[in-house]
Amino acid sequence: MKPEQREKMISLLESANINLSILPATDIFLNGRNTERPIPRGLINAKDFAKRINTCIASNNILNAFTPYGDASLLRMANMYANLSQSATEEELKAVYEMIGKNAAEMIQQKFILEEKMPANLVIVEAKNATDAIRRVSQPLLGLKSGRVTFKNEAAILFIPQI
C-alpha cells in the first residue's frame, strides 16, 4: 500500500476498534505463488499498525494446505516475523513479544497478569528476558492452563568437552 492508503487503513481500523492478527507462516507461504520473478514476501509490516491498534501475531491452519509447516510455537512465529519485518532493536523485539503475549490476551479478552489465587495460564520458557526468548526461539519448559500443567520439557544440558 502507498503510505496514504496505509494511513487511511490504520485510521479506519482504529476508529472501528478492530484488532489486527497477522499470520506470518501462512502469509509467506501463500503470497507471491504465481509469479515467474523472485517470490515477493507478502507479510504485513505491522509496526505502524501496532502503535495505534491492538496487533498480535498468531498461527493457524498448521500442517495443512495453507500452512504446511509448523508446531504452534508463538515464539517461532515471533522470530519469523521479527526476521521478515527486520525488527532487531530491544524496543522492536519487546513490541513483537507483546504481540504474542499481552496483545493476544487482550484480543481474546483475557488478563495478562498473574494475581494471587487466580488460575494460571502461562508458558515458562528458558530465556533471560522477552527479547532473548524471541532471538533464540526459546524452549518452552512448562505450560499451565487454568492452573493445571499441560506439558513439561526438560531444560537443555550442554556438554562441553574437556581439553
Following DSSP, what letter does each residue of the chain receive, concatenated? --HHHHHHHHHHHHHTT--EEE-HHHHHHHTT-S-SSSPPP----THHHHTTS-EEE---SBTSSSB-S----HHHHHHHHHHHTT--SHHHHHHHHHHHTHHHHHHTT---S--TTPPP-EEEESSSSHHHHHHHTPPEEEEEETTEEEEE-PPP---PPP-
Whether residue 123 is contained in a domain is answered as no
pTM given for the model: 0.85
Whether residue 91 is contained in a domain is answered as yes
User: With 80 as the cut, is the pLDDT of residue 158 above it?
Assistant: yes
Whether residue 162 is contained in a domain is answered as no
Q: State mean pLDDT over 7-19.
A: 95
Whether residue 159 is contained in a domain is answered as no
The parent domain of residue 58 ranges over 3-111
| Local confidence band at 119 (pLDDT 50, 70, 90 cut-offs) | confident
Whether residue 55 is contained in a domain is answered as yes
Whether residue 124 is contained in a domain is answered as no
Lowest-confidence region among 16-20, 28-32, 75-79, 139-143: 28-32
Whether residue 51 is contained in a domain is answered as yes
pLDDT digits (tens, 9 = 90+) for 53-106: 999 999 988 999 888 998 989 999 999 999 999 999 999 999 999 999 999 999
Whether residue 147 is contained in a domain is answered as no
Total of domains in the chain = 1
